[in-house]
Structure 1
Amino acid sequence: MKHLRPRSARVALFFLVALMVASCGLPRSGPRKAEIFSGSVEQEGNAYIVTVDQRVAREASKQPALGFTDGFLSAGVVGSDIIRPGDVLGLTIWENVDDGLLAQAGASATDLTEVQVDGDGFIFVPYAGRMKASGNTPEGLRRVITGKLESQTPDPQVLVRRLAGDGSTVTVVGGVSQQGVFPIERPTRTLSAMLAQAGGVAIPTEVALITLLRGGHRSTVWFEDLFTHPEFDVALRGNDRILVEQDSRAFTVLGATGGQARVEFETQMLSAIEALAQVGGLSTNIADPTGIFIFRDEPENIAQNVLGRNDINGTQRLAYILDLTRPTGVFDARDFSIRDGDTIYVTEAPFVTWNKTISALTGSLQSANALTAATGTQ
């Protein structure tokens, strides 16, 4: 058998290794841009590939707004001075005699603490009897009690205080400094005032969500919107429940970036540029700035607006592509809002694959030469 000369053997080995590399593939962080395009609807795939421009960024960035329903917004402020069944009252009665009806010897005043308003709205006061308390203000009840007592003791003076009531309390739980059950009183008749009574929110205010539950209804707002939208500072009702929690939205970043991870939102609104910055931006060594993809399942109405079609039915898979090298590319990325569950994928630059191929080939040839030298083959 005729032996190949050393130069011819090396050339043959080079092509053999090249074929092996091409068939086996090279390590990479994910699909190439061309491979993603091959999965488009136009290529009989199941995703629409959409280049982001100003119009697309505007349509794709629409998000459901948080806010209270009409039932919460239309509720008037509770008159905190109105006594209701279940309330607890504190009564103090002064008598203008040394030996009064109620006062102990040597004392001119009598304290009746924690007088419970019963389910029918009545209370009982010694020597004054059973009387209607609910529907009255503390001042109105004071006059009623005074009228009942003045025929039995000269010039009685009565003080009525409305304390915490079982029927007018609100439960505050979650990310506040002090969780608990709080009475609705004059200073705490609205949502923001009650949160302040609970010590304020104990989580970052930028991502704090406030959920108000009333019966079978619930609505959620951003904490900061309580102050930018005064109408959201709604009036409270007895047995309301307030839940304070941190925003749980997140997105995933993959590919040629400074880090690959599931990342939580740090602000209410997050642009594509800000999302990339949270993971260290694009990898300057391998990233392709023309191939930044955002994968998302879009609801029917948004998909129709983005694609400019009215024959779209149901949720659609869309892959938005950002090209930062375009004249408006950075502005488009800045205006494109990331949503909960998005996947951001940055493709590798084409030359990276070439470099990997060359490195694999040269490394393989060096290994082959070393093996040849070790075996003494010429």
Structure 2
Amino acid sequence: MRFLVITFCSLVLAACAGLPGQGPAAITISSEDIEGDAVRNSYALVTVDRESISTLHAYRPKPFSAHFRKVSAGGRATRLGIGDRLMVTIWEAAPDGLFSTTDGKQVTVPAVVDEAGYIFIPYAGRVRAADRSVENLRAAIEERLKGKAIEPQVLVMVEGNESSGVVVVGDVTKPGQYTMSVRGMRLLEAIARAGGSREATYETVVTLKRGGASGEARLVDLIEYPENNIWLTPGDNVLVTHKPRTFSAFGAVKETKLVPFKTESVSLAEGLAQVGGLKDFFADAAGIFLFRFEDRELVRKLKGEVADKFHTARVPVVYKLNLRQAEAFFLARSFGMRDKDIIYVANHPTAEFGKFLQIIGPLLSNVNTANALVD
């Protein structure tokens, strides 16, 4: 009987490699594998320590405004266009001038920029208004009236800047088209005029489409980083979308699942806690990995010349944390999670033996019972 037990155990031990697992052990993912053949592996391995945490905190990604040509408050937003409604007031120096009336020495002429970009002013004729600033149009009208009116002076006021409209749609209270004032309009102002986002700022993504250029940023980043709150130009389209952030957890954790962010910021320590922590008897505390894509410039700060092996703007990075070191728990509190991060906890090398004992435990118990009966 004992010979049969020994034979059975030998066969099962030989088949241990075929036992099911939750993923590769920590020793199968090493910095030597990655850095030795970065082209084949196509990712970079970064150890989570004080230096890497400091680099992550200090790094500022490329601002949202870099996707678009900068427009100042006195830029294109002040240009007139087709459909704009104007009020042109003309004064003369004498009561018997062309525009004098019984009520005074001035007259106000309403005008709308026509489909050809012109307005009509009596005695000045058709004056081009499209693509001109208000001051430029005022000076042009005044020049046209010289020699006809008596020392004319002109004032141009914009009643309706219809051509300088931007469209705001999506998860806002009042989607629609909004016109700019002469001073222009910033991105946050357009969203505010549309009633603001219906969801939390950190769960809201703002996409701006300008001609062939497009860029997106979370609404909270427009507030925290003022350079992202750019000036809009006529014809811009703004899409406000509710996009909750999530991260995934796999491997030797108590719950393998997709986890939504419940607060504005979540640390790696909190992320592990939300999936129940490490799985007893299986997890390798030295094999905590986090997968994400980083800017190549950040990878250069973290890994130096290793970044030169990648030719894409976004580089896949694997961060490794060793929770067998007490300091790692403090580092996990400082390591911020991001949208679509993946946490993987590797199996401990002895986990397979633990599975084996669970399988043969009942069999050994039965054998011991049979031996007792025989004796």
Aligned CA distance change for structure 1 residues 136 and 129 (closer, same or farther; 3 Å): same
Q: Which runs of 5+ in 2 are unaligned?
A: 89-108, 150-155
Match of 1:10 in 2: 2
Match of 1:229 among 225, 232, 251: 225
CA distance, structure 2, for counterparts of residue 198 and residue 333 of structure 1:
40
Aligned CA distance change for structure 1 residues 309 and 187 (closer, same or farther; 3 Å): closer
1:20 deviates by 1.6
**One-letter amino acid matched to 2:207:** T
Aligned CA distance change for structure 1 residues 41 and 72 (closer, same or farther; 3 Å): closer
Aligned CA distance change for structure 1 residues 237 and 43 (closer, same or farther; 3 Å): closer
1:234-253 residue pairs with structure 2 within 5 A?
A: 234-247=230-243, 250-253=246-249
CA distance, structure 1, for counterparts of residue 35 and residue 220 of structure 2:
44
**One-letter amino acid matched to 1:254:** F
Aligned CA distance change for structure 1 residues 74 and 268 (closer, same or farther; 3 Å): farther
Aligned residues: 332
Aligned CA distance change for structure 1 residues 204 and 280 (closer, same or farther; 3 Å): farther
Contact 1:177 1:198 in 2 (8 A): yes
Residues 59-96 of structure 1, C-alpha deviations (whole Å, 9 max, x = no match):
467563332028544422469887532224699xxxxx
Residues 173-206 of structure 1, C-alpha deviations (whole Å, 9 max, x = no match):
2222222222223697222221111111123201
**One-letter amino acid matched to 2:49:** D
Match of 1:119 among 88, 109, 115: 115
Match of 2:64 among 58, 67, 72: 67
**One-letter amino acid matched to 1:182:** Y
Determine helix, strand or coil for the equivalent of 2:319. strand
Contact 2:83 2:114 in 1 (8 A): yes
1:1-378 residue pairs with structure 2 within 5 A?
A: 9-10=1-2, 12-24=4-16, 25-37=18-30, 40-41=33-34, 46=41, 50-59=46-55, 62=59, 64-69=61-66, 72-77=69-74, 84-88=81-85, 116-123=112-119, 132=127, 134=129, 136=134, 162-163=159-160, 165=162, 167-185=163-181, 189-247=185-243, 250-263=246-259, 270-283=266-279, 286-295=282-291, 302-303=298-299, 305-307=301-303, 309=305, 313-314=309-310, 319-338=318-337, 342-349=341-348, 352-366=351-365
**One-letter amino acid matched to 1:12:** L
Contact 1:78 1:189 in 2 (8 A): no
TM (normalized to structure 1)?
A: 0.67
**One-letter amino acid matched to 2:363:** S
1:357 deviates by 2.2
**One-letter amino acid matched to 1:40:** D
TM (normalized to structure 2)?
A: 0.67
Q: Which runs of 5+ in 1 are unaligned?
A: 1-8, 92-111, 152-158
**One-letter amino acid matched to 1:68:** S
Contact 1:247 1:265 in 2 (8 A): no
1:230 deviates by 3.5
Aligned CA distance change for structure 1 residues 15 and 309 (closer, same or farther; 3 Å): farther
